[in-house]
Amino acid sequence: MKITEAHVAEPGLVVVEIAAADDETLVQAMAAMDKVWFSSGPSEPYRIPGEPGVRVRAYGDMRRSPDGTAI
């Protein structure tokens, strides 16, 4: 997933990268984020060679609740 200008074009839009030791921890962290903000959901988990852990990225809108309504 590439960060483009559209993903951060307005106040309240965020790109979040989560790194964890294992996939289960990533799932739990994304579930916590999804309870707070409207989100794209996580990318496929990926690893960066030479760096520890597994990562996901998600796009979030802090202006909207998880169901998409304005906060």
Domain locations in the chain as residue ranges: 17-71
What is the value of pTM for the model shown? 0.79
pLDDT digits 0-9 by tens, 31-62: 999 999 999 999 999 999 999 999 999 999 99
pLDDT digits 0-9 by tens, 4-41: 888 888 999 999 999 999 999 999 999 999 999 999 99
Q: Do 18 and 4 form a contact (C-beta atoms < 8 A)?
A: no
Beta bridge partner(s), residue 55: 19, 46
Q: What is the 3-state secondary structure (H, E, C) of 20-57?
A: ECCHHHHHHHHHHHHCCCEECCCCCCECCCCCCCEEEE
